[in-house]
């Protein structure tokens, strides 16, 4: 068992290259399939029951067509601009439900179709522990994937069952050992807090067990009831079992203290990392940057325009054929931009979700934010301190 020790971390967010994040682009790829539907999930996904005509093979075929067409389109638009793709994220769903050869094919096509040359690419893939094996790890690594985001959520089998997760802790341990000793050295674990009947002790036990596998990044999420989920329906029947906001904030603080002892700092509302292991793809969302979404329902941002793919696989297949034509929504958005220009900053609500915060340009700052130790001003920026991240929505409303 590794012994925790507190580490003083000196503002590593000031080393983030925000200029590159706004100059370059990210790519998000959605894989909508899951072995089962978790009780709390409101993402676009399909379990064993799927719409007619939608399966892994047909989806992959359409996705590869979209990757090739959109990649060629973007490469042509960015030619001579000095801009490139420097982050890719395959999410879902459960991407690692796909066979190793299919994952490798998608990853390789992304690297070859989009303009990635000229520097490193942060290439992440989400995974569930019961869908990972040595073959998939090797295939992803050889195809360019260099970061994993693994949905563990808890080491407590009772809570895993309540959430509808398909893995149990005993079978997860050898998978995490494989990941810790595997070829992909940058990996992140997910943890959920705010669950009914989840004590601080149970939560910290999960955190300590996961930290034994030395993850350089950690995501810890507050379980909030989302519309149209099984968990929300359960919460409406048993509201007395939902922990109070005060109890959940205490759990969040306990997790942060634990992670700080292992060298992780809280750099975003839900994310913790050792310096240098932050998810730059996610920071692009919060700080502002262009990104292209591929697959069902995925969103793209170009300039200030946000365009989403259709959620129907039938409509999506038709839309793929229009890439590069006059009917292409992304083409229309790009036509209104200078392709050499960097993306504008994100909305203040998003920028205030992470430690680098908001660039001040004449906005007034509530002095209580500073004196209360929630924020600080540095080099013309309103930076967020860790305990201020929980109030980012309030800040953005006051700054409007």
Domain boundaries defined on the chain: 12-287, 348-399
Mean pLDDT of 17-37: 96
The whole-number pLDDT of residue 160 equals 98
3-state secondary structure 328-365: CHHHHHHHCCCCCCCCCCCCHHHHCCECCCEECCCCCC
**Per-residue confidence at 56, pLDDT binned at 50, 70, 90?**
very high
**Per-residue confidence at 3, pLDDT binned at 50, 70, 90?**
very low
The whole-number pLDDT of residue 81 equals 96
Residue 140 CB partners (closer than 8 Å, separation 6+): 100, 103, 104, 107, 125, 148, 184
CA distance 208 to 204: 6
3-state secondary structure of 16: coil
Question: Could you tell me how far CA 156 lies from the centroid of its own chain?
Answer: 24
Mean pLDDT of 372-386: 90
CA distance 119 to 222: 35
pLDDT in tens, 280-336: 999 999 999 999 999 999 999 999 999 999 999 999 999 999 999 999 999 999 999
Residue among 275, 282, 284, 268 at smallest CA distance from 21: 284
Higher pLDDT, 156 or 397: 156
Give the fold, CATH level 3, of 12-287. Answer: TIM Barrel (3.20.20)
Strands (E), 48-202: 85-92, 122-127, 147-153, 186-193
Give percent of the chain above pLDDT 70.
96
């Amino acid at each position: 068992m590794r012994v925790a020790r507190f580490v003083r971390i000196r503002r590593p967010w000031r080393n983030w290259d925000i200029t590159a994040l706004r100059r370059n682009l990210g790519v998000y790829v959605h894989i909508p399939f899951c072995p089962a539907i978790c009780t709390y999930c409101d993402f676009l996904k399909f379990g064993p029951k799927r719409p007619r005509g939608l399966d892994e093979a047909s989806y992959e075929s359409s996705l590869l067509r979209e990757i090739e067409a959109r990649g060629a389109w973007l490469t042509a638009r960015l030619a001579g601009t000095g801009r490139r793709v420097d982050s890719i994220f395959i999410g879902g769903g459960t991407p690692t439900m796909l066979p190793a050869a299919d994952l490798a094919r998608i990853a390789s096509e992304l690297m070859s179709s989009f303009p990635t040359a000229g520097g490193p690419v942060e290439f992440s893939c989400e995974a569930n522990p019961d869908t990972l094996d040595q073959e998939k790890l090797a295939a992803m690594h050889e195809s360019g994937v260099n970061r994993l985001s693994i949905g563990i959520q808890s080491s407590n089998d009772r809570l895993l069952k309540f959430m509808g997760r398909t893995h149990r802790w005993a079978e997860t341990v050898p998978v995490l050992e494989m990941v810790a000793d595997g070829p992909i050295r940058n990996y992140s674990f997910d943890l959920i807090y705010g669950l009914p009947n989840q004590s601080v002790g149970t939560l910290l036990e999960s955190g300590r067990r996961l930290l034994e596998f030395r993850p350089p990044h950690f995501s810890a999420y507050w379980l909030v009831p989302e519309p149209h989920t099984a968990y929300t329906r359960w919460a409406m029947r048993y509201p007395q079992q939902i922990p109070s906001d005060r109890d959940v904030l205490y759990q969040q603080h306990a997790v942060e203290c634990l992670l700080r002892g292992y060298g992780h700092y809280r750099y975003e509302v839900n994310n913790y990392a050792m310096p240098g292991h932050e998810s730059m793809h996610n920071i692009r969302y919060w700080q502002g940057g262009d990104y292209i979404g591929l697959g069902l329902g995925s969103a793209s941002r170009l300039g200030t325009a946000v365009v989403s793919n259709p959620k129907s696989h039938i409509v999506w297949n038709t839309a793929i054929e229009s890439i590069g034509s006059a009917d292409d929504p992304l083409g229309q958005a790009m036509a209104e931009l200078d392709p050499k220009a960097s993306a504008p900053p994100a909305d203040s609500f998003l920028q205030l979700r992470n430690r680098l915060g908001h660039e001040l340009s004449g906005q007034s700052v509530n002095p209580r934010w500073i004196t209360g130790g929630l924020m600080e001003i540095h080099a013309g920026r309103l930076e967020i301190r860790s305990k201020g991240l929980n109030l980012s929505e309030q800040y953005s409303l006051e700054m409007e």
